[in-house]
Amino acid sequence: MPAADPIVTPRRAGRWPRRRLALWAGLLAGCVLLAFVVYRYAEDAAIGRLRLTGTQRLDTDTSSLEHLLSKYDFLPGTFELNKDVIAMLQRPGDEALRTEVNVYLERVNRLARSTTIYIVNLNGVTQASSNWREPDSFVGDNVAFRPYVRDAMRGAPGGFYGVGTTRGEPGYYFARGVYRDGRMLGVATVKVNIESVEGGWADAGGKVLLADAHGVVFLSSVPAWKYRTLAPLAPGVRQELEQSRQYFSHDLTPLGLREVRVLDSSARIVAVPGVRGAMLSQSRALVTRNWQMVYLSDLAPARASARAAASLTLLSEALVIMLVLYARQRHRLGRQRLRAREDLQRAYDNLESLVAERTASLQQMTRELREENIVRHQTEEQLRKTQGELVQAGKMAVLGQLSAGITHELNQPLTALRTMADNARVLIERGRIDDARANLATIAQLVERMGQLTGQLRQFARKADATLSAVVVADVVAAALFLVERRIAQERVGFRMSTHARDLYALCDSNRLQQVLVNLFSNALDAMEMAGSTERQLVVDAERNGARVLITVTDSGPGIPENIRAHLFEPFFTTKPQGKGLGLGLAISEQIVREFGGHLRAEPAPGGGARFIVDLPRAE
């Protein structure tokens, strides 16, 4: 199976690739930048709204103040219309007239709702006053040093805000010359308390202040700001103010406003001591007076809404990033799932083809095995056939060795038969029928004997497949002995068969066992003959040994030397001269016995000869 891509891209834990890190850093910076831009935009928008409100407030407050002041503008000019006022200024010593004027001024003051009205002569001494009854009456006071008096005496209508020098009460002073026939006789002054506007400002919210041309705050919705200055006063200005005692004994210390940002000529953001956070400051110059009104609004709500907008932006960005990440993750998971499915499919296909391959090779192997089996069977069959033929060849070899003796065995009776047949014919011719009959009977015996021999030979030479059966051991020993007994007799070998129990059975093929025994007998006779032994003994013994039958063939020959014994059962091993031995007898005999489930072995005989033991399974 091909190695599938890992589901998770291998990444060293805790270390991001530099590109990814840069990307995230850039994204983060972008988000923060956007939030900052949104913050500034929202702040600017909120400030814009505040400015609109401030502008409206300034419009309202300046116009109402101007309206208030304009109501009194004409009043000082009306006193020259009063005859008593003119007469009093022309005749300063007339006390009755002064009282008349005092009462008049008192009445007008009440009607006009002004603070004080008083008239001074050209020396600046107060001649009559609406507060003439009060203990601190202005009558007799010299007010020539007051700027509004000075202005009026110079012919300019005086307008002045100041703090009274008697009671220290602030107010706006309207002053105008009193003329008779184009000549100035004195100055009429009306003092109006305009501090009431402060209450209205405070009620409307926000912080409002009114400053004079020098920047001295003289009206304010915040009491602590009064008689303070917007900026430090120049020394000359301060000296002038102290001389004119415009603000009585107040210190006129700076408010300490700090400019943070200038929005335009009439608006700026300032930090105000004692107030948390910055404030928006808007100013407006009054049309009729050299004053400026300043409106201060709290920036905290604007900044809070800007912060909220920025926070919302950050949240939205986080949400978008999360959504993108989620979508990417989903996409990646989907891809991985698809890849896994493909891998699985590939693995399945591979498995299928592998199974098909293996099945094919198994079938091939089975076919080959079957063919090999057939070949093996054929080979085994061939081997069996070859072995059979080998056994047969061995048998023929034995027969070949026996043939000289057998020929001799047959020739003797044949010669006797011929003589006796001739004798029989002569006896018949001579009429000796009984002798001839006796002769013929002997002939019949001889023929039967010869038939027996040839029958045994035919039986031995017969080519037959080995079939296992219970075989009487004594019968097979006797049949084998029959084929070699002439040689035993000729070579004067003492033959002994010690045990020949008729009930000893071995599980084997009688014909082949006979072949084995003939072989062993022939070898024993050969060994004794070749060694020229004088005392020749061949002993055959058959005995039962548990589930086995042991047939031993012992001779009194030279025995088997140690170096030869190891090679006894090898094919073509022989010590006999050429033409006498093939070296196949023991090899074939050993194979025959092995096929019976037995074994053949050789050992030295106690008397010095050789002993061969055929060990066979016993049959019941």
Least distance (Å) between residue 570 CB and ligand ADP: 9
Question: Rounded to an integer, what is the distance from CA 312 to the centroid of its chain?
Answer: 35
**Among 508, 528, 437, 521, which residue's Cα sits nearest to residue 482?**
521
Question: Cα(135)–Cα(433) distance, rounded to whole angstroms?
Answer: 226
Chain positions 223 to 252 lying near ligand ADP, rule: CB under 6 A, are none
Instruction: Give yes or no for residue 527 binding ligand ADP (CB under 6 A).
Output: yes
Query: What is the Cβ-side half-sphere exposure of residue 62, based on CA atoms within 13 angstroms?
Result: 21
Least distance (Å) between residue 586 CB and ligand ADP: 3
Asked whether the CA dihedral 91, 95, 99, 102 is positive or negative, the reply is positive
| Residue 77 vs 604, nearer CB to ligand ADP | 604
**Single residue of 432, 500, 548, 576 touching ligand ADP by CB under 6 A:** 576
**φ, ψ (nearest 5 deg) of residue 602:** -120, 145
Q: Are strands 158-163 and 505-508 parallel, antiparallel or unpaired?
A: unpaired
| Residue 406 vs 530, nearer CB to ligand ADP | 530
Least distance (Å) between residue 567 CB and ligand ADP: 8
**Single residue of 583, 604, 607, 617 touching ligand ADP by CB under 6 A:** 583
Within 10 angstroms of residue 119's Cβ, the number of other Cβ atoms is: 29
Q: Which range in 249-257, 326-334, 409-417, 567-575 contacts ligand ADP by CB under 6 A?
A: 567-575
> Distances from the Cα of 444 to the Cαs of 417, 422, 447, 540, in angstroms?
9, 14, 5, 33
**Single residue of 581, 592, 593, 596 touching ligand ADP by CB under 6 A:** 581
Taken as a whole, the chain contains a residue count of: 620
Chain positions 384 to 403 lying near ligand ADP, rule: CB under 6 A, are none
Asked whether the CA dihedral 384, 387, 393, 396 is positive or negative, the reply is negative
Question: Cα(129)–Cα(105) distance, rounded to whole angstroms?
Answer: 6
Least distance (Å) between residue 491 CB and ligand ADP: 14
Q: What residues contact 279, with CB distance under 8 A and at least 6 apart?
A: 207, 269, 270, 271, 272, 296, 297, 298, 299
Least distance (Å) between residue 576 CB and ligand ADP: 4
- Amino acid making up residue 123: N
> Distances from the Cα of 305 to the Cαs of 33, 270, 297, 302, 312, in angstroms?
18, 19, 15, 5, 10
| Residue 147 vs 585, nearer CB to ligand ADP | 585
**φ, ψ (nearest 5 deg) of residue 129:** -150, 145
| Residue 40 vs 580, nearer CB to ligand ADP | 580
Helix residue ranges, H only, 212-267: 235-244
| Residue 299 vs 588, nearer CB to ligand ADP | 588
> Distances from the Cα of 288 to the Cαs of 175, 177, 229, 285, in angstroms?
15, 20, 21, 9
| Residue 14 vs 561, nearer CB to ligand ADP | 561
Site string for ligand ADP, 469-508 (x = CB under 6 A): ----------------------------------------
| DSSP string of 405-446, one letter each residue | HHHHHHHHHHHHHHHHHHHHHHHHHTT-HHHHHHHHHHHHHH
| Residue 41 vs 573, nearer CB to ligand ADP | 573
**Single residue of 184, 450, 575, 617 touching ligand ADP by CB under 6 A:** 575
Instruction: Give yes or no for residue 524 binding ligand ADP (CB under 6 A).
Output: yes
**Single residue of 178, 549, 582, 614 touching ligand ADP by CB under 6 A:** 582
| Residue 35 vs 592, nearer CB to ligand ADP | 592
Strands (E), 513-564: 537-545, 548-555
Q: Which helix (H) or strand (E) holds 190?
A: strand 183-192
Q: Which range in 128-136, 164-172, 248-256, 522-530 contacts ligand ADP by CB under 6 A?
A: 522-530
Chain positions 22 to 51 lying near ligand ADP, rule: CB under 6 A, are none
Q: How many residues bind ligand ADP (CB under 6 A)?
A: 18
- Amino acid making up residue 55: T
**Single residue of 574, 595, 601, 618 touching ligand ADP by CB under 6 A:** 574
Q: Which range in 46-54, 74-82, 349-357, 555-563 contacts ligand ADP by CB under 6 A?
A: 555-563
**Single residue of 255, 568, 592, 593 touching ligand ADP by CB under 6 A:** 568
| Residue 278 vs 516, nearer CB to ligand ADP | 516
Least distance (Å) between residue 511 CB and ligand ADP: 18
Q: What residues contact 580, with CB distance under 8 A and at least 6 apart?
A: 401, 526
**Single residue of 523, 533, 537, 556 touching ligand ADP by CB under 6 A:** 523
Instruction: Give yes or no for residue 586 binding ligand ADP (CB under 6 A).
Output: yes
Chain positions 59 to 98 lying near ligand ADP, rule: CB under 6 A, are none
Least distance (Å) between residue 574 CB and ligand ADP: 3
Instruction: Give yes or no for residue 121 binding ligand ADP (CB under 6 A).
Output: no
Least distance (Å) between residue 400 CB and ligand ADP: 11
Sheet containing strand 183-192, edge to edge, reads 126-129, 116-121, 183-192, 170-180, 158-163
| Residue 509 vs 555, nearer CB to ligand ADP | 555
| Residue 549 vs 568, nearer CB to ligand ADP | 568
Chain positions 591 to 620 lying near ligand ADP, rule: CB under 6 A, are 610
Least distance (Å) between residue 575 CB and ligand ADP: 3
Q: Which range in 4-12, 136-144, 378-386, 582-590 contacts ligand ADP by CB under 6 A?
A: 582-590
Instruction: Give yes or no for residue 317 binding ligand ADP (CB under 6 A).
Output: no
Asked whether the CA dihedral 208, 210, 216, 221 is positive or negative, the reply is negative
Q: What residues contact 452, with CB distance under 8 A and at least 6 apart?
A: none
Residue with tokens 């805790």: 14
Instruction: Look up residue 261 and give its two tokens.
Output: 């940002």
Least distance (Å) between residue 605 CB and ligand ADP: 9
Question: Cα(484)–Cα(555) distance, rounded to whole angstroms?
Answer: 14
**Single residue of 585, 592, 598, 600 touching ligand ADP by CB under 6 A:** 585
| Residue 250 vs 576, nearer CB to ligand ADP | 576
Question: Cα(345)–Cα(339) distance, rounded to whole angstroms?
Answer: 10
Instruction: Name the percent of the chain in helix, strand, coil, to the closest 5.
Output: 55, 20, 25
Q: Which range in 48-56, 168-176, 200-208, 581-589 contacts ligand ADP by CB under 6 A?
A: 581-589
Q: Which helix (H) or strand (E) holds 618?
A: strand 610-619
- Can you give the binding site for ligand ADP, defined by CB under 6 A? 519, 523-524, 527, 555, 557, 560, 568, 573-576, 581-583, 585-586, 610
